[in-house]
Amino acid sequence: MSMNRARIVSIMSWFFECRQEVTGNPMKSGIRKIETYLPLIVLGSVAFLALILIQRSKGDDAFFFNLATSTHLFEALKIRYFSWSGRLLPEAVLLTVIKNLWVWRGLNAFMLVVLASTIFQYVRIHFPGKDFLKTAFISILFFTIPVKTLGYAAVWVTGSVNYLWTTSAMFVALYPFYALIFGHEVKKRFFLASIIAGMYAAFFEQTAAVMVVSGLLILIYAFLQKLKFDKWLVVEYTLILFCALMLFLCPGHHIRVISETAKWYPGFSDLSILHKIFNAANILINHLMNISWAIELILLVTLSSLLVSGKASLPIRVFSFALIGFFLVRPFESVHAIFFATGTVNSTFTEMTINIPAVLTGIAFMVSIPLFIFHIFTEERKLRVTLILLYLSALAATIIVGFSPTVFASEYRIFFVTDVLLLALASILFAKLIDTVPKDGQKFLLIVYGIIIAISGIDQFMTLANIPQQFLHI
């Protein structure tokens, strides 16, 4: 009996030794994978538990629920497309999932995890290793997105399908394009997912604009640099462009513009293109500096730290820390009134005031980020171009809303795409930082990030405490 047991132990030992030689230590590999994705699992679990409290709203949710239960799906989509909206795929999904809230809750939490994990893959393209720290950073940053933006865009049935799900799909769809720049091979089966995701996201105005412009610029860059790319990438871009055209050329769009202009934005059709851009920029500046301040501050701190650890000139370093100092005095009423008070998203056009010092402050902050990126990545041209493109996409995602008369009706959810793109940018820069800064410096910066996130959390809680019914839809 003892000899048989000894033989079994010997055979098992030999098997695991052989496996370790071929694949490495399987147990350690499994533990590392669990460690890497644990923050994302926690993020999804917290989201699902929070979504249990959410019911259908009395506005759009009630409308789509009644439409879904009283009309055939294709008939409902036909009515919407020819009389109001070109968002065919998102509304097809919405009309399906709104019938069962438990299905929506599960899928909504899953789409948040998809978004976070896809951002992590973008980070991995540039900076592999130290994965747990990166996924933890990405997951925690989602809680710094302003509670009203997150509430309208991700914690509301209609809003989530149109904003969270399309943003997740956009990141999945654009991944092969960004991978092309750095010569990363994308598996064939992933192209099927990215094509479906691209078509879905192309039926939403903000994500469609980002994909069409970013995709085209990357394809032009690849052609000029004579990069070899998969034919499926061209197929994907063609389908994205086709779906985007179906969205923007929707017959019901003209009817909607007339109706929404009369209701929300009288005189909108008389504004020049520059006036519309300026109005959108004014709203964007207010959001970045006064509402989504935590992400903006984390970006500035990360960039300043990289400038110090790199080869940037002294004036650039001083300028970066001066911006942080200026940002920190923002809460003082006298400073805020002069340099930070701009038009807010829920004001009407006639009430929006133009505060020139605040506009100039906002422009200084917006211009500084690509300027700092340019000085940090002097020897990594591809990465520099990629990060600046990512940042400009974030700004453009809000600027495009200035061409819609519903800019004030949509309120805070219009900033969701922008905030997530900035979150992705901050995550890539953070990965660069922990690869560059010594361990002692990393510890100090993690404490700084912790303080910013803690203050942001208190701010989020105070905001949420004042409007509980608005988000729980009870």
For residue 267, the enclosing domain spans 32-472
Task: Give dist(CA 33, CA 26) in Å, integer.
Answer: 11
Task: Give dist(CA 166, CA 319) in Å, integer.
Answer: 37
Give pLDDT tens digits for 145-197.
998 899 888 888 999 999 999 999 999 999 999 999 888 888 888 889 999 99
Q: What is the mean pLDDT of the chain?
A: 85
146 CB-near residues (< 8 Å, 6+ apart): 287, 291, 292, 412, 415, 419, 460, 463
Mean pLDDT of the region 71-81? 93
Give pLDDT tens digits for 32-57.
677 888 999 999 999 999 999 888 88
User: Is a pLDDT exceeding 50 seen at residue 11?
Assistant: no
The amino acid at residue 389 is L
Number of domains in the chain: 1
Tell me the pLDDT band of 467, cut-offs 50, 70 and 90: low
Tell me the pLDDT band of 67, cut-offs 50, 70 and 90: very high
**C-beta separation of 333 from 344 below 8 A:** no
Q: Tokens representing 348?
A: 């009407």
Tell me the pLDDT band of 74, cut-offs 50, 70 and 90: very high
The amino acid at residue 323 is L
Task: Give dist(CA 399, CA 74) in Å, integer.
Answer: 33
Mean pLDDT of the region 74-94? 93
Assess if residue 10 is contained within a domain. no
Lowest mean pLDDT among 233-237, 255-259, 446-450: 255-259
Assess if residue 4 is contained within a domain. no
Assess if residue 369 is contained within a domain. yes
User: Is a pLDDT exceeding 50 seen at residue 316?
Assistant: yes
**C-beta separation of 123 from 134 below 8 A:** yes
Assess if residue 17 is contained within a domain. no
User: Is a pLDDT exceeding 70 seen at residue 263?
Assistant: yes
Assess if residue 13 is contained within a domain. no
339 CB-near residues (< 8 Å, 6+ apart): 326, 330, 357, 358, 361
Three-point CA angle 40, 169, 413, nearest 5° = 85
How buried is residue 248: exposed, middle or buried, by Cβ count under 10 Å (0-12/13-18/19+)? Answer: middle
Give pLDDT tens digits for 276-315.
888 888 888 888 888 889 999 999 999 999 998 887 888 9
Tell me the pLDDT band of 125, cut-offs 50, 70 and 90: confident
Assess if residue 352 is contained within a domain. yes
Lowest mean pLDDT among 9-18, 21-30, 380-389: 9-18
Tell me the pLDDT band of 8, cut-offs 50, 70 and 90: very low
**C-beta separation of 279 from 345 below 8 A:** no
Assess if residue 20 is contained within a domain. no
Assess if residue 14 is contained within a domain. no
